[in-house]
Amino acid sequence: MQRQERLIRLTQRLVEQPAAPLHVTQLADRWGVAKSTLSEDIALIRETFAGAGTGNVETMVGVQGGVRYRPVVAHDDRAAFLGELAARLSDPDRVLAGQFVYLSDVLGDPDVLDFVGRLVSAHFQHAGVNVVVTVETKGITLAASVARYLHVPIAIVRRDQRVTEGASVTTHYVSGSAKRIQTMSLSKRLVPNDARALIVDDFMRAGATARAVAQLLAEFDAEVVGTAVFMATAMPVAKMVDSYVALLQVNEVSEAGIEVRPFPLTQ
């Protein structure tokens, strides 16, 4: 196999399975090339990604000869994407009854999902996340994209207890907006031992849902290493969770209009 071919196939494998270990020794055997040759190829891919600012190729500690790819979103690309997204969402047609914001189209847009996955996974790449947790329904597509880029499983918290989930832990909480008692249920088999969970959701107002998920995860002795939401309201400023990251902030929602902008901390 010639070097150009190897570079193409290595790049394909690294990018197609982000964060998944690539075992260089195994691959060298399979391709019938020296390990040192593959290592030189990988070094060139690493340099190229670094020079372009589009990704990292990490050498994995503790795995013999393992490397993995993690995408990087350049600052300018992030600003441009979030700016365009904020403009797209600042559309009075999106204001629904009760000052809810219509997001379902954006949460199904493949480019938005891919961007959110790359951005949020890059933010938490060193947090040791081993499970992404979300609550049905609207955050699932976002959570799946983040989980893909972190190469970890996704666990979906259900709003009611289902037979198809097997043995589950169920908790209750008072929702922030409706002031009603809500139920949350999570299948016991979905949470790994020594879980380090990243909570992903589409929207945060007061943070009651995120706090309830954290409390549910505490029943599994899971550690919550972060909370990431697609859009957060500017008010109330103090949320019920200690810390969170958001991509977008919605400052005002009324029948007259809506103002969405990139979340201040991500600019």
Per CB under 8 A, residues contacting a copy of itself are 3-5, 7-9, 11-12, 15-17, 20, 44-45, 48-49, 51-52, 54-55, 71, 96-98, 100-105, 108-111, 113-114, 136-138, 140-141, 144-145, 147-148, 151-156, 158, 163-166, 187, 189-190
**Please, which residues bridge with residue 66 across strands?**
23
Closest distance to a copy of itself from the beta carbon of 198 (Å): 13
Judge whether 69 and 12 are in contact, CB under 8 Å. no
Closest distance to a copy of itself from the beta carbon of 226 (Å): 18
Q: Rank residues 158 and 239 by Cβ distance to a copy of itself and give the closer one.
A: 158
Closest distance to a copy of itself from the beta carbon of 149 (Å): 9
Instruction: Dump strand ranges (E) for 112-266.
Output: 131-135, 154-157, 168-174, 181-187, 196-204, 223-233, 245-254, 257-262
Q: Rank residues 82 and 106 by Cβ distance to a copy of itself and give the closer one.
A: 106
Q: Compute the distance between CA of residue 117 and CA of residue 3 in angstroms, rounded to an integer.
A: 31
Q: Rank residues 8 and 265 by Cβ distance to a copy of itself and give the closer one.
A: 8
Closest distance to a copy of itself from the beta carbon of 242 (Å): 26
Cis? peptide before 236, omega within 30° of 0: yes
Please list, in sequence order, all residues whose beta carbon lies within 8 angstroms of the beta carbon of residue 56, skipping any fewer than 6 positions away: 46, 49, 50, 69, 70, 72
Q: Compute the distance between CA of residue 194 and CA of residue 153 in angstroms, rounded to an integer.
A: 14
Closest distance to a copy of itself from the beta carbon of 245 (Å): 21
| Order of strands across the sheet that contains 257-262 | 154-157, 131-135, 196-204, 223-233, 245-254, 257-262
Q: Rank residues 19 and 241 by Cβ distance to a copy of itself and give the closer one.
A: 19
Burial class (CB in 10 A: 0-12, 13-18, 19+), 139: buried
Q: Rank residues 94 and 261 by Cβ distance to a copy of itself and give the closer one.
A: 94
Q: Rank residues 11 and 237 by Cβ distance to a copy of itself and give the closer one.
A: 11
Closest distance to a copy of itself from the beta carbon of 40 (Å): 11
Q: Rank residues 11 and 249 by Cβ distance to a copy of itself and give the closer one.
A: 11
Cis? peptide before 137, omega within 30° of 0: yes
Burial class (CB in 10 A: 0-12, 13-18, 19+), 167: exposed
Closest distance to a copy of itself from the beta carbon of 61 (Å): 21
**Closest CA relative to residue 220, chosen from 184, 152, 169, 160:** 169
